[in-house]
Structure 1
Amino acid sequence: MKIIKKIFKIFAYTLLVLVILLLAGFTYLVIVAKEPNPKISDAKVEALQRTEKDGLYYIGNNWFRKSKSGLYEMYVEGEPFERGVINGKLSKELIQRQEDVFVSQIRKMIPSTFYLHFLKYFIGWFNRDLAKNVTEEYKEEIYGESLTASTEYDYIGTNYQRILNYHAAHDIGHALQSMALVGCTSFGTWGAASADSTMIIGRNFDFYMGDQFAEDKIVSFTNPSQGHKFMTVTWGGFIGAVSGMNDQGLTVTINADKTAIPAGSATPVSLVAREILQYAKNIEEAYAIASKRKMFVSEAFLVGSASDNKAVIIEKTPEQLAMYDPKKNYILCANHFQSDLLGQTKENKEQMEKSASVYRYERLTELMQNNGPNTVQKTVNILRDQKGLHGANIGMGNEKAINQLIAHHSIVFEPQKRLVWVSTSPWQLGQFVCYDLNKVFAMHGMKENHEIVDSALTVPADSFISTSAFKDFVLYRSYKQRVADKESINIDSLTASNPEYYHTYVIAGDYLFKQKNFAKAKEEYTIALTKVIATKQEEEHIRRQIAKCEEELAHR
């Protein structure tokens, strides 16, 4: 009896210690998850109100509108906090809608309320040093923008905490999954590689957070009180840059590379790219900015410079920095490093071996060699290419294709001419509309709603939109969604909608496996292995599923 009491006491004490540790840990998480608002010396701009006229919203010289192309357009100028407040007031509905979509997507991935709250504090801990690594200028701008965010998500954090943390969402997802969340492709030509010798740069931003996330794209033009004027393609509540060009003819696009799991946060990639756009006029200055910022994921910045008449790739990891200069009149970038220093790292070699990056790079090389001197139209054609090596049919949506039919946006720059083309829906298949930065920044406000694109330079929509193959792809995506929503589907109809895509058969196999139809599931997985599979990880998944099917069948 004494032994039992002794064991009980030990158990009780152990449990008490665990509870105390958990409470202490929870308290610590709550403390570090909080971030005070920036101190604003002059907050009178908060009283500004927007004026609406025929679909145009404006405050002074600042304006916001929706183009006939379906893209939203915005111009903002002034001091950091002023820019943020005005941005928020002009695009209030988009900021709130974008957060609704973002949170909804997170809820789909993590339906448990308990785990959502745990995730909140975990991200708070992970991002405990985030504010220390963001400049005061950008904190003030984000704070100003956050004032119009919804109060519906106060349980996640204050408006400022949430919007600030959303700027690190790409980095956190990238780091936690230890993989590139985006399979982007970018390239550039100049000199003899371009038909008129001027620089042309194109990129696909293949970032996918659900269809709704990409519905409200904003082409944003910023005239800051300090630094250069610049444009970016963005979304409500986001001041970072993933694709952009400034008035000096300097362009920046980002491509993720494989990264090791870090211990804590640093400067979000998008804010490093934004700083380069705002404060660099050439490659040397861009490199200097990248070198002074600490990042916690690995990223490649393709930087094109009108003044240098060339493009380079600034490769950055949490520990190292390198610059890749091809010493040619063209440059190609997928999702692996190419410099002598970082191309040999363990993570990069693994990325090249197991991901779709090298295959896409080889397909891009093939198209560049076959196309002759580059033009804007040829650049768009390459960005829309869905084929595999040697023109092989690898299925619609394959990550090994340059056009994976998931792009948030696609963009083309002519830096010397200060021209930029932005894709319209669906993906990069719609028209590419052209903006002349010289003309946009020469405007002194907008009081009457009118189009600002240069319609004479519009690149027509892809004829693929009108084909039966496109209709089949839309049908394939609907089947894929129905499976995700746990609805019943006809497997034969699914596989007929996208028959050359390996993932079609993976979806079919997974669907049948859950129904315990192991023989038929094995057949679908086996067909998948005969197709061009994007990554080693996916191939391993298929082989594991076949083994599980065989094990289940053997027990019958």
Structure 2
Amino acid sequence: MSTLSDITVDLAASPRNRWSFADAHVRAASELLAVYNKDLGVDEETMAYVASLASAILPVGIAEELGAVASSLGATFPQALLGNLHYDLLKVVLGCTAFAVDTPDGPVHARNLDWWTSARALNDGTAVTHFVNGPCGEFLTVGWPGFVGAFSGVAKGRFSVTLNAVLSDEPGQIALPVVFLIRQVLEEAGNFDEAVSRLSETTIATDCLLLVTGTVPGQMVVIERTPTKFAHRTPTTREPLSVTNDYHLIDADSGEPANELMRTSCRRYKRITELLVDEPPLTLERCIDHLSDDRVMMGITVQQMAFRASSGEYLVRIPQLHEREPSTPI
């Protein structure tokens, strides 16, 4: 039986001393790095080239953290880096369904993380990382041991953010990977508006869709991104705010052949919209119920989660394996 694990990262410490792993974390992270590098199928020369590019792109603190993580896991820096760049290098295997709904206590924000994985490695390795002593306050991310970036996170009293995959016709850029931008924004942005601005305007390496929610009614937006462009989509009176794996505002047909995630995007979007119209969820538990609908959840769903940024509450479930009870606020 899998269980969620917790990691605490003290941002007041030097980057090289922030991450400390229990033996179970080391085992899980080592297994995940092996899966990532096998999926990517890159040779040592390519790894070294990517690592050399990273030296000019990554914030110094992130690079130092990655170096320390690599050392702790008995891996090389390029191996640890490529594990953290799995989205940017192989995003075609990443799906997701996410939505946001207003409640009297502030917006709730929920998402399924859909990702092809080997032997449930991503399910079983799931960890909630609590970042403390940050310049703008505490925050947490839902990820895995050894992953220093962020796909999903909530900063109490500020905002929450999740990432969905999408494909455009715009070439990728030698720029900051979005998983590290999200981590930076969770650490440094003081409020919803600042987070939205930075997530929208910063040039990034590849395309993505970002759902961001704040702490008061109406603070919710889907940011449609290509590496250099953005558009904002907000809820309407007829349609609540949800996101799967399609652009709605940006005209950017990638011309890529459809895969299961892209083929099911419209179907999942239609179904989650129906559920939100019929019964807007006011609690984190009801959010997970909607995500578990058999026309929304996929066989490759590895994580389910719900956040409320106003209080810092979160709920994380590993499908069919383990469910965490609602937490106390961070």
Aligned to 2:96: 184
Aligned to 2:311: 417
Query: 1:466-505 maps to which residues of 2 (within 5 A)?
Result: none
- In structure 2, C-alpha distance between the alignment counterparts of 1:316 and 1:219, rounded to whole Å: 26
Tell me: CA distance 1:368–1:320, structure 2 relative to 1, closer, same or farther (3 Å): same
- In structure 1, C-alpha distance between the alignment counterparts of 2:123 and 2:223, rounded to whole Å: 27
Match of 2:327 among 412, 435, 439: 435
Q: Verify the 8 A CA contact 1:297 1:317 in the aligned structure 2.
A: yes
Q: Verify the 8 A CA contact 1:133 1:294 in the aligned structure 2.
A: no
Per the TM alignment, residue 106 of structure 1 is displaced from its structure 2 partner at its CA by: 4.7
Match of 1:378 among 286, 302, 322: 286
Q: Which amino acid aligns with 2:189?
A: A
Per the TM alignment, residue 228 of structure 1 is displaced from its structure 2 partner at its CA by: 2.6
Per the TM alignment, residue 136 of structure 1 is displaced from its structure 2 partner at its CA by: 1.2
Aligned to 1:47: none
Deviations 1:138-167 (A, max 9, x none): 11222222221215xxxxxxx223212321
- 1:347 aligned counterpart, secondary structure: coil
Runs (5+) with no aligned partner, structure 2: none
The two structures have a TM-score, normalised by structure 1, of 0.53
Q: Verify the 8 A CA contact 2:313 2:326 in the aligned structure 1.
A: yes
The two structures have a TM-score, normalised by structure 2, of 0.87
- 2:72 aligned counterpart, secondary structure: coil
* Greater Cα radius of gyration, structure 1 or 2: 1
Confirm or deny that 1:119 pairs with 2:119.
Answer: no
- In structure 1, C-alpha distance between the alignment counterparts of 2:170 and 2:327, rounded to whole Å: 39
Match of 2:14 among 54, 64, 81: 81
Q: Which range is displaced more, 136-145 or 307-316?
A: 307-316
- In structure 2, C-alpha distance between the alignment counterparts of 1:359 and 1:167, rounded to whole Å: 30
Q: Percent identity?
A: 20
Runs (5+) with no aligned partner, structure 1: 1-67, 111-115, 152-158, 175-179, 388-401, 439-556
Structure with bigger helix share is 1
Match of 2:221 among 297, 312, 317: 312
Aligned residues: 327
Q: Aligned-pair RMSD on alpha carbons? A: 3.0
Q: Which range is displaced more, 97-106 or 277-286?
A: 97-106
Aligned to 1:324: 233
Aligned to 1:244: 153
Match of 2:63 among 139, 146, 149: 139
Per the TM alignment, residue 247 of structure 1 is displaced from its structure 2 partner at its CA by: 2.2
Confirm or deny that 1:169 pairs with 2:86.
Answer: yes
Per the TM alignment, residue 225 of structure 1 is displaced from its structure 2 partner at its CA by: 4.5
Confirm or deny that 1:357 pairs with 2:265.
Answer: yes
- In structure 1, C-alpha distance between the alignment counterparts of 2:218 and 2:165, rounded to whole Å: 25
Aligned to 1:345: 252
- In structure 1, C-alpha distance between the alignment counterparts of 2:7 and 2:211, rounded to whole Å: 25
Per the TM alignment, residue 354 of structure 1 is displaced from its structure 2 partner at its CA by: 6.0
Query: 1:11-90 maps to which residues of 2 (within 5 A)?
Result: 70-79=3-12, 81-82=14-15, 84-87=16-19, 89-90=20-21
Tell me: CA distance 1:172–1:144, structure 2 relative to 1, closer, same or farther (3 Å): same
- 1:412 aligned counterpart, secondary structure: strand
Aligned to 2:113: 205
Aligned to 2:274: 366
Tell me: CA distance 1:95–1:227, structure 2 relative to 1, closer, same or farther (3 Å): farther
- In structure 2, C-alpha distance between the alignment counterparts of 1:267 and 1:80, rounded to whole Å: 23
- In structure 2, C-alpha distance between the alignment counterparts of 1:269 and 1:424, rounded to whole Å: 24
Tell me: CA distance 1:132–1:228, structure 2 relative to 1, closer, same or farther (3 Å): farther
Aligned to 1:408: 302
Q: Verify the 8 A CA contact 2:10 2:131 in the aligned structure 1.
A: yes
Q: Which amino acid aligns with 1:346?
A: D
Q: Which has the higher contact order (CA 8 A, sep 6+)?
A: 2
- In structure 2, C-alpha distance between the alignment counterparts of 1:105 and 1:263, rounded to whole Å: 20
Tell me: CA distance 1:98–1:372, structure 2 relative to 1, closer, same or farther (3 Å): closer
Confirm or deny that 1:288 pairs with 2:220.
Answer: no
Tell me: CA distance 1:224–1:208, structure 2 relative to 1, closer, same or farther (3 Å): farther
- In structure 2, C-alpha distance between the alignment counterparts of 1:105 and 1:283, rounded to whole Å: 32
- In structure 2, C-alpha distance between the alignment counterparts of 1:349 and 1:267, rounded to whole Å: 24
Per the TM alignment, residue 307 of structure 1 is displaced from its structure 2 partner at its CA by: 4.7
Match of 2:243 among 317, 333, 336: 333
- In structure 1, C-alpha distance between the alignment counterparts of 2:24 and 2:306, rounded to whole Å: 28
Q: Which range is displaced more, 232-241 or 278-287?
A: 278-287
- In structure 1, C-alpha distance between the alignment counterparts of 2:18 and 2:105, rounded to whole Å: 40
Per the TM alignment, residue 338 of structure 1 is displaced from its structure 2 partner at its CA by: 2.3
Q: Verify the 8 A CA contact 2:108 2:283 in the aligned structure 1.
A: yes
- In structure 2, C-alpha distance between the alignment counterparts of 1:257 and 1:135, rounded to whole Å: 25
Q: Which amino acid aligns with 1:267?
A: L
Tell me: CA distance 1:104–1:416, structure 2 relative to 1, closer, same or farther (3 Å): closer
Per the TM alignment, residue 188 of structure 1 is displaced from its structure 2 partner at its CA by: 0.9
Per the TM alignment, residue 372 of structure 1 is displaced from its structure 2 partner at its CA by: 4.8
Tell me: CA distance 1:182–1:104, structure 2 relative to 1, closer, same or farther (3 Å): closer
Q: Verify the 8 A CA contact 2:114 2:298 in the aligned structure 1.
A: yes
